[in-house]
Amino acid sequence: MSSLFFSPSGYISRSDFKRCAAILLAINFFLWPAWHAGLGIGFTVALLGMASIYCWACLFIKRLRAAGMTGWMFLPILLGFMIGSWLLANILLGIMTGPELLEAVETVQAQDPIDPDMPVLLGAYEVITKAMVVPYAVSFFVVGALIAFTLNNRLSDNASNL
């Protein structure tokens, strides 16, 4: 199983790709709330997030090769994911948040850049980051699932590769 996630060489079938994509989507979805457990855990989550990008790259490269395409096609897929998830997250953020988020943003903007009131600033950042957890987790999951499963179903298998 580790060769599926950590090696870009070879090919992967549709069913193996679906199973691996579901695992990565679940891991990524549950990583988002961990940002608020503390700085040490947040740093660890950031490293795991970087590792998951590599795992996604390995999966997509193998799947693209199985369809007779180049692995470099993962780059536009990644760019599409980044843009799509950012747009959806910001739409959800606007829908799901209340006036406390706007107050926190105004507090950050009102701070003196030379001599900010650090306790007030950190409190505002805490409100902002907590408001972002659910919209970003949902958008990464939804956009990631749409891209992964749609492309997986549209890519034909080159039987000689599998």
For 89-144, the pLDDT digits (tens) are: 999 998 988 888 889 999 999 998 888 899 998 888 888 888 888 898 999 999 99
3-state secondary structure 102-115: HHHHHHHHHCCCCC
- Please, how many CA atoms are within 13 Å of residue 73, restricted to the half-sphere of its CB? 15
- C-alpha to C-alpha distance for 41 and 66, rounded to whole angstroms: 37
Residue 160 pLDDT exceeds 90: no
User: Greater confidence, 44 or 140?
Assistant: 140
Average pLDDT of the segment spanning 60-70: 94
Residue 42 pLDDT exceeds 80: no
CB 87 within 8 A of CB 60: no
φ and ψ at residue 148, rounded to 5 degrees: -60, -50
**pLDDT band, very low/low/confident/very high, at 38 (cuts 50, 70, 90):** low
Instruction: Quote the tokens at residue 63.
Output: 């799947």
